Chain A
Amino acid sequence: MMSFDAVVIGGGHNGLVSAAVLAKSGRKVLVLEAADDVGGAARTEAFAPGFRVSSIAHLLNRLHPDVVKTLELERHGLDIARGDFVPSIALSKDGPPLVLHGAYGEVLTGAIASEQTAWKGLRAQLLRYAGILKPFLARRPPDLGGMSLLETASLGQTALALKRLGKEDMRDFLRVLLMNVADLLDEQLADDRLKGLLAFDATLGSHLGPRSPTSLLGLYYRLAGETGGVAGAQTLPKGGMGAVISAIRAAAEKAGVAVRTSTPVARIIVEKGRAVGVALDSGEEIRAKTIVSAINPATTFFDLVGPREIDTGFVRKVGNIRMKGDAAKLHLALDRPPQFAGVDAAGHKGRLVIAPSPDHVERAFNPSKYGAFSPEPVMEITLPSLADPSLAPDGACVLSAVVQYAPYVLKEGWSDGKPKFLKAIMAQFETYAPGIGKTVRHAELLTPPDIEARYRMPGGHWHHGELQADQMLMSRPVSGWSGYDTPVEGLFLASAGSHPGGGVSGAPGLNAARRIIAMKG
């Protein structure tokens, strides 16, 4: 039998990143993936004959530069050039769309001059403030119990960065930090299309409306990400998100990581408070000094470790992590590329957003609080096959959309609700791309319960836990245990459920591996 220093549970991107970094440190690492392929919710999968699509995550906008560098992903097939940055298009029913070119609207077209000036100011401010949060949203959160010199120093640097803002800007940073995005937008912008897009981005993937307190944080989180060294930039990876995973997997295997797919872990073996191995569904036991759980934290503790091996207070905390997803994913196999009104060819290759105003997003959010889906959902749409024809048969087109709001618990039940929701979505499409309905060859709608079942994400939540102020930083996944180590000695967490959170960043995986190396685990 092979023996390993570390076993990583879950071959999602964070698991692979963690495994690769650990392997590079000289450890023998095994990755165990329950599904038949690695990648988790960042795969490229077939959903209709001849049609392939990025499964859940379809835009690359926050892969952490340290991950790219440490894993030398560019040598393993990852290719991000500035020319690949795609624009965001705020669609409008009443007229031409508004387009944010380059990295999150370096250039704005479709708006009047005064709005362009206002946007320039706001964009600079958003990026400046996101830049302050950036180190927080990258490194291991400060350990309030006992800070190391290094941690204190890095906190000091952040304080310095704050100071460098100048008095007025620093005050404003603190003023707006926990604001709702709608109020901030109303202060500074006038164009509903632009405000709608920003309101959508701030609340994407969370159970918040633009007028919910702290909703601005979501926008900072997004803008703290960078692509190709440019903050706020986004790309549609060639070959879908699966191609990014392939690069990470290649880097991991190059470093010596062994990967076993179709190998679900039944439990983590704990002896005298220490994780000493894993037992597979097959009954096989694999022992290792370090166990890294790159799957959902609640699944880790409730299903794999079991509440008996952990303290009641910790069980309480884990049980209280909010993780009911509110976003659905739609895949359409289309006979031909759709035509969104007023959008040019370059725009169709970008990110098309249906969120005509903050009010519209708020109204879409409201029913989800009471267990109903949005009658007029908001969404971001990509047409990945336009830039990468390999994803669809000749002449045909793939449409991939993240659609909100689709509450995990739908009052009428998703078996009844799903066809109705699809109808509501298609009605929106028809408004913005007339005639699209007739070209649909196949539709796959993944509601949060579908996402939960298919990708083993409890609540169907792609962050593995709501990404809100009370579940961020020192409180992610739970207060007191945000440092990737856990009350079970030898067991570490490395999924999006840990700080900083979700999105294809690799940051939790990277941080976890670094923590393990620092702890000599």
Chain B
Amino acid sequence: MIQRAKALLYDAPPQPSIDTARTTAQSHFRTLRCGTPFQPRIDALARTNDWYNWAGYRAPHSLWDEELEYFAIRSQAALFDISPMTKYRVEGPDAEAFLNRVTLRDVTKLKSGRVHYTAWCDDEGFVLDDGTLFRLSPTRFRLCSQERHLPWLLDSAIGFDVTVEEETAAVAGLALQGPTAFAVLHDAGFAGVENLKVFDLADFPHDGDPQGNSQVTISRTGFTGDLGYELFVPSEQALSLWDRLMAAGELRGIRAIGYTALNRARLEAGLIVANSDFVTSEHAIRADRLRMPDEIGLGFMVDLEKGHFNGRRAILDARTKKRLRHVLVGLEIEGSIPAEHAIVYYRKGQEVGLISAAMWSPMAKRNIAIASLARPFGDTMVDDLWVEIYAMRELQYQKLMKRAKVVPRPFIRLDRRTANPPAGF
């Protein structure tokens, strides 16, 4: 029967007019994973063919060797394609006021040419996402995030003189991270890039288009805790930017890398990832997975003095009534076996939380982790914490009960990240 139905389906006469319209609207399933503007270059370097889905884009877990890719970040210069990151252009006379209402931090304190890390919440004070906010001019911003938020942002714009547009596909992005990152940019001819302090941004000429008048926005930001930069260009200029950096970086050890390496670097830097270290409020199905900023280490962003912002009332209420149930902490665990997704215990018996990311840190020479704990553990009760690690040893688990200590994040601090002027190598 099924065969017959299929045959009928294929025999059906073509209906060109509808078909054409449909075909154009159906690219999303014809190409299940989109390529980024850098895809031709990345594909050419992809020896492991180890892909994952980043917001609908085909992104590499690794390209050639995840260990060496990690060390490219720490010892050389690593090039990571961040084009799939969701990007919104926020522009208008009320752009500052709008973002101040949407996000937690005080945007009036963010000067033009600066970037800050921020987060935003729903009415109940639960974190919708975290991301970076770039102030490109007094009235123009770029908001970068993990997830898509256009309906939320547009509804938030009611009553503000502001336009919000998604520019994820139109703008290509690269992270260039590592001790030789500055030297690569310098050699690539980005004059003046040495003036960028951490969280600064500026536009630089890039001759990618035939007129030679396009620009690249470079910020001294990154997700590695290392010296590094992020570069944004119109997607049409993506490949020429890639080539320019690769050519300049050849003698500086520049390497394209995948996410696994970056994920290690970010853990050492103590940075969290949405839907990995916490579940964003629009994704959480279970009510107890929702997190307020204070529960994922983002309480420092909350500015109760700046005026109204989404979630203010709920956050204030939770703080006043001491209704914050969780805390996100850095852990140092004895031994060297990574405790990924291990359960955290109090006195080896009482379950008090879960590790969301863990690794042996080659830089810190410590076994580190990020964990979510149920208060008061991790908050006022930090002693006698243990993690149970299941280490697979030739088809048998070796169960290890290891002592865990709450330690501050970041796990590593690299002077070169903030040094001015940046080191040249």
A residues in contact (CB < 8 Å) with B: 270, 272-273, 302, 306-316, 319, 487, 489
Bound-state CA distance A340–B292 (Å) is 67
User: Do most interface residues of chain B lie in helix, strand or loop, or is the interface mixed?
Assistant: loop
Q: Which residues of A contact B101 (CB under 8 A)?
A: 308
Bound-state CA distance A490–B122 (Å) is 22
Whether A306 contacts B123 by the Cβ 8 Å rule is no
Whether B155 contacts A315 by the Cβ 8 Å rule is yes
Q: Which residue among B160, B304, B308, B313 has the maximum number of chain A CB atoms within 10 Å of its CB?
A: B308
Q: Is B339 an interface residue (CB 8 A)?
A: no
Known contacts A308-B101, A308-B308; is-contact A315 B313 (Cβ 8 Å): no
Q: Which residues of A contact B354 (CB under 8 A)?
A: none
Q: Is B198 an interface residue (CB 8 A)?
A: no
Closest to B311 in A: A311
Whether B160 contacts A487 by the Cβ 8 Å rule is no
Closest to B154 in A: A312
CB-CB contacts of B220-264 with A at 8 A, as 1s and 0s? 000000000000000000000000000000000000000000000
Closest to A309 in B: B308
Number of interface residues, chain B, beta carbon within 8 A: 20
Q: Which residues of A contact B361 (CB under 8 A)?
A: none
Q: Is B18 an interface residue (CB 8 A)?
A: no
Closest to A319 in B: B158
Tell me the smallest distance from the CB of A475 to a CB of chain B, in Å.
16
Whether A308 contacts B159 by the Cβ 8 Å rule is yes
CB-CB contacts of B390-424 with A at 8 A, as 1s and 0s? 00000000000000000000000000000000000
Q: Which residues of B contact A489 (CB under 8 A)?
A: 313
B155, B304, B313: the one contacting A316 at CB < 8 Å is B155
Whether B308 contacts A313 by the Cβ 8 Å rule is no
Tell me the smallest distance from the CB of A266 to a CB of chain B, in Å.
15
Q: Which residues of B contact A270 (CB under 8 A)?
A: 308
Bound-state CA distance A311–B311 (Å) is 7
Q: Is B102 an interface residue (CB 8 A)?
A: yes
CB-CB contacts of B110-144 with A at 8 A, as 1s and 0s? 00000000000011100000000000000000000
Whether A311 contacts B310 by the Cβ 8 Å rule is yes
Q: Enumerate 28 A-B pairs (CB-CB under 8 Å) in ascending A order.
A: A272-B304, A272-B307, A273-B316, A302-B158, A307-B159, A307-B160, A308-B101, A308-B159, A308-B160, A308-B308, A309-B308, A310-B308, A311-B122, A311-B312, A312-B152, A312-B155, A312-B310, A313-B123, A313-B310, A314-B123, A315-B156, A315-B158, A315-B159, A316-B155, A319-B155, A319-B158, A487-B123, A487-B313
Q: Which residues of A contact B304 (CB under 8 A)?
A: 272
Whether A312 contacts B308 by the Cβ 8 Å rule is no
Closest to A488 in B: B313
Whether B159 contacts A312 by the Cβ 8 Å rule is no
Tell me the smallest distance from the CB of A499 to a CB of chain B, in Å.
20
Tell me the smallest distance from the CB of B97 to a CB of chain A, in Å.
7
Tell me the smallest distance from the CB of B375 to a CB of chain A, in Å.
21
Whether B313 contacts A273 by the Cβ 8 Å rule is yes
A302, A310, A313: the one contacting B122 at CB < 8 Å is A313
| A-contacting residues, B280-328, CB 8 Å | 304, 307-308, 310-313, 316
Q: Which residues of B contact A487 (CB under 8 A)?
A: 123, 313
> Which 7 A-B pairs have CB atoms at the shortest separation, nearest pair first?
A307-B159, A313-B123, A311-B123, A312-B156, A311-B310, A309-B308, A307-B158
Whether A311 contacts B313 by the Cβ 8 Å rule is yes
Q: Which residues of A contact B313 (CB under 8 A)?
A: 273, 311, 487, 489
Q: Which residues of A contact B122 (CB under 8 A)?
A: 311-313
Q: Which residue among A270, A310, A314 has the maximum number of chain B CB atoms within 10 Å of its CB?
A: A310
Closest to B94 in A: A308
Bound-state CA distance A313–B313 (Å) is 13
Known contacts A273-B313, A316-B155; is-contact A308 B97 (Cβ 8 Å): yes
Whether A312 contacts B102 by the Cβ 8 Å rule is yes
Q: Which residues of A contact B102 (CB under 8 A)?
A: 312
Bound-state CA distance A319–B158 (Å) is 10
Closest to B98 in A: A308
Contacts A312-B156, A489-B313 supplied; 11 other A-B pairs, CB < 8 Å: A307-B158, A308-B159, A308-B160, A310-B308, A311-B122, A311-B123, A311-B310, A311-B312, A312-B155, A314-B123, A487-B313
Closest to A306 in B: B159
Bound-state CA distance A487–B152 (Å) is 19
Bound-state CA distance A316–B124 (Å) is 14
Q: Which residues of A contact B123 (CB under 8 A)?
A: 311-314, 487
Bound-state CA distance A351–B310 (Å) is 50
Closest to B160 in A: A308
Q: Which residues of B contact A311 (CB under 8 A)?
A: 122-123, 310-313
Bound-state CA distance A272–B123 (Å) is 16
Closest to A303 in B: B159
Tell me the smallest distance from the CB of A491 to a CB of chain B, in Å.
12
Closest to B128 in A: A312
Q: Which residue among A308, A312, A487 has the maximum number of chain B CB atoms within 10 Å of its CB?
A: A312
Q: Which residues of B contact A309 (CB under 8 A)?
A: 308
Tell me the smallest distance from the CB of A318 to a CB of chain B, in Å.
10
Tell me the smallest distance from the CB of A83 to a CB of chain B, in Å.
53
Tell me the smallest distance from the CB of B246 to a CB of chain A, in Å.
43
Q: Which residues of B contact A310 (CB under 8 A)?
A: 308
Bound-state CA distance A103–B313 (Å) is 48
Bound-state CA distance A362–B128 (Å) is 45
Bound-state CA distance A487–B122 (Å) is 13
Bound-state CA distance A489–B308 (Å) is 12
Tell me the smallest distance from the CB of B319 to a CB of chain A, in Å.
13
Bound-state CA distance A160–B30 (Å) is 59
Bound-state CA distance A314–B311 (Å) is 11
Q: Which residues of A contact B311 (CB under 8 A)?
A: 311
Bound-state CA distance A313–B102 (Å) is 11
Bound-state CA distance A487–B125 (Å) is 13
Tell me the smallest distance from the CB of B313 to a CB of chain A, in Å.
6
Bound-state CA distance A273–B314 (Å) is 11
Known contacts A307-B159, A314-B123, A319-B158; is-contact A273 B312 (Cβ 8 Å): yes
Bound-state CA distance A276–B122 (Å) is 25
Bound-state CA distance A273–B122 (Å) is 16
Tell me the smallest distance from the CB of B352 to a CB of chain A, in Å.
27
Whether B159 contacts A273 by the Cβ 8 Å rule is no
A273, A302, A316: the one contacting B308 at CB < 8 Å is A273
Tell me the smallest distance from the CB of A377 to a CB of chain B, in Å.
36
Bound-state CA distance A487–B312 (Å) is 10
Bound-state CA distance A316–B304 (Å) is 23
Q: Which residue among B97, B158, B310 has the maximum number of chain A CB atoms within 10 Å of its CB?
A: B158
Closest to A314 in B: B123
Tell me the smallest distance from the CB of A297 to a CB of chain B, in Å.
15
Bound-state CA distance A273–B307 (Å) is 8
Tell me the smallest distance from the CB of B183 to a CB of chain A, in Å.
44
Q: Which residues of A contact B156 (CB under 8 A)?
A: 312, 315
Q: Which residues of A contact B124 (CB under 8 A)?
A: 313
Tell me the smallest distance from the CB of B160 to a CB of chain A, in Å.
7
Tell me the smallest distance from the CB of A308 to a CB of chain B, in Å.
6
